[in-house]
Copies of this chain bind each other. A is one copy, B any other.
Amino acid sequence: MLVKKEKFCVNSYSFKNSDKTIPLEIGYETYGTLNQAKNNVILVCHYFTGTSHAAGKYTDADQLPGWWDALIGPRKPIDTDKYFVISSDSLSNINCYNPNVITTGPASINPQTGKEYGLDFPIFTLHDVVHLQKMLLNSLGIKRLAAVIGPSMGGLQAFIWGRLFPEAVEKIISVVATPMVTPFVLMVPNQLGIDAIKSDPNWNNGNYYGKTAPREGLLNAFKVLLMITRTDHWADTSFGRKFADPEFINYSDPRKSFSGKYLIETEVEKIVIDRMKFFDANSYMYIAKANALYDLAEPGETLEQALAKITPPTLMIIDESDLIFNVRQAKIAEKFLPNARTAYYNSGNGHLSCLFDHQLFGEHIRTFLKGSSR
């Protein structure tokens, strides 16, 4: 499946928590064909470090397809023979230097100054991300979604759709996400990541563009993220207590010095460093902040009351080994969501199983999409 990036522009966007009004642009991709009634649309929302490239390849030469290609395509659980699938880039996408990502964030040029926004970029929430998606769909003449789905931060967005636009969504599917960011999750990974970046002297209050980027702070933020999205079992079976490959940078015996490393350290660092050329530290902070601020309850409303307004049929898919969005939260949410059920699986590998262990939950998605919606 060959795909291409499209661009959606808003000349003047007003943020939920800010008085600032600025122009925005985001990228999006589509898979499958929009039917004449425009009622076969599934919106796929991406995860924290993800992009709109959810499926397919740009060219046959691409090494890897989009991140949920195992689930999106002809006859796959999100079947593009039947559905028209849209996936858009978040605001302040962390991969903002990836040429295939179109996003507006702190690394974008502020047209009023001709320089990067840095910390002048408005602090936004995932509600803003969803409002932009709604504007994008309106621009395409799409009034109602057959479903909204996403893993992790994508699932959080799916719940916002249900809270803000219950009449515009036929079905909600959240994968490894509950409709709440608990104070623990607010801290790990979100606020701890922000703290790690801020503590890097190169961060310089967000003014590092054209200078040395806060690479070490960003690396430390990602290490926290990568660990909490995995598990003890995953680390044991992937690396054990082996020492790092001596050919890797900075290697020395970890028993002898603080620069000596174990294999798990260098492997986690490799994952980050391989992708770091596309990453921006301020963008990481803003998207982590958007996750920390996630709260479905409007002022004067309890979370229970907010959940009660999410009336569309909802499927929560939870990995029992997930350290972020866990079984305890799912059971609380299920009590208050009027039309939800939870499907559990246990990868043993934690939160990030949503990207690798499709075989454990893909059929739940297929079955739920097939079922009658009411």
Contact = CB atoms under 8 A, between A and B. Distances in A.
Contacts of A248: none
Interface stretch (A4-12, A60-68, A288-296): A288-296
Contact of A199 (B185, B220, B239, B240): B220
Interface in A228-250: 228, 230-236, 238-241
A119 interface: yes
A182 B236 contact: yes
A54 interface: no
Given A235-B182, A258-B289, A187 B17 contact: no
Identical copies of this chain, number? 2
Contacts of A293: 254-255
A187 B264 contact: yes
A318 interface: no
Q: Is the interface of A mostly helix, strand, loop or mixed?
A: helix
The contact size tier of chain A is: 35 or more
A224 to B, nearest CB: 6
A183 B231 contact: no
Contacts of A256: 17-18, 123
Interface in A170-191: 181-188, 191
A358 B256 CA distance: 38
Contact of A258 (B18, B185, B198, B264): B198
A216 B224 CA distance: 17
A105 interface: no
